[in-house]
Structure formats: C-alpha cells, structure tokens
Structure 1
Amino acid sequence: MITKVTKWGNSLAVRIPLAVAKETQLRYGETVNLASCDGQIVIVPVRQQRYQLADLLKGITPRNLHDEVSSGAVVGKEGW
C-alpha cells in the first residue's frame, strides 16, 4: 500500500490506513516500537503480556520463596 510522508511539527509522519490497522489489530493510542532495519522502517505494536495467576504461582519454589516480612505492630483496626 502506498501512502505519503507528511510533516508533523518538526517531525515526519505517515498515516496508517484503516485496513492496515485492522489487519494488525493496531488501535488509537497504542504503543509501538519504531526501528530501522536495513534501510527500512519497521513498526511493531508493543503488546503487554497478560499473566495468569496460576502460571505465576507455578514459578514459586522453596528456593525463591522469601521469608515473611514484618510491617511492625498493629495500629488501629488494621489487624489481620
């Protein structure tokens, strides 16, 4: 798909056509990684990894489990 480079303040800008945005699941306000590779511009959406509690808990072992941390004496009605 051919598009034009335009000026945006002191920078250059390229509009991403809706068809390309839909195909790549790119949304307004989303963070992207912009890089140059062999003279080409590469734009890659930065996807936040979604964690599952069960998967995180599987990573806990006796070796990496820390001791209980004291936060001091109970004050007011915050007792557990």
Structure 2
Amino acid sequence: MQSHVTKWGNSLGIRIPRTLAEKIGLREGTPVDFEIKDNAIIIRRKRYSLEMLLSQVTPQNVHHEISTGHPVGREIW
C-alpha cells in the first residue's frame, strides 16, 4: 500500500488507508506516539494503564465534591 505526504497548514500529513486503520482499531481522535528508528517513522497507538493514570493524581488536581441540587423523581437511594 502506498500513500503520499501532503502539506496540512504548517505541518505534513499522511493519509492512513481505512483497511490499515481498521486492522489496529485506529479512529479519528486516537492518541498516537511517533518514534524514529533506523530511518523509519513508527506510529503507535498510545496506551493508558490505570496505574499510569492514577500516578498523575495529586492533592492539587483532585476535584472537590459538587452539589447537583436536590433529588428529583426517584433519585433517592
């Protein structure tokens, strides 16, 4: 399969054929990492683990409890 590099604003872009994207579950908005190895560009889907996400939680970025108002209908537990 072949594609071409095109100019997108101040950057360059490459269209990824649908068949390749579907094989690895790549969709619009999927975060990716780039790596250069042996004169090749490697694109990897960015993976998150619960441990990695939780390691970024600090007392400074934990949100406080918020009030959404009084219960309405059958919201009482």
Which secondary structure state, in structure 2, belongs to the residue aligned with residue 28 of structure 1? coil
- Who wins on radius of gyration, i.e. which is larger? 1
1:20 aligns to 2:31 (yes or no): no
TM-fit CA distance, 1:11: 1.0
Count of matched residue positions in the alignment of Structure 1 and Structure 2: 51
Aligned residue for 2:43?
A: 43
**CA root-mean-square deviation:** 1.3
**Aligned-partner Cα distance in 1 for 2:5–2:44:** 18
CA offsets per residue over residues 38-80 of structure 1, 9 Å max, x none?
Answer: 10010000122257xxxxxxxxxxxxxxxxxxxxxxxxxxxxx
**Aligned-partner Cα distance in 2 for 1:17–1:50:** 31
1:2 aligns to 2:2 (yes or no): yes
CA offsets per residue over residues 4-62 of structure 1, 9 Å max, x none?
Answer: 000011111001111010001111101000111110010000122257xxxxxxxxxxx
Q: TM-score, normalised by structure 1?
A: 0.58
Structure 1 unaligned spans of 5+: 52-80
**Aligned-partner Cα distance in 2 for 1:20–1:26:** 8
Runs of 4 or more, structure 1, over 3 Å off, are: none
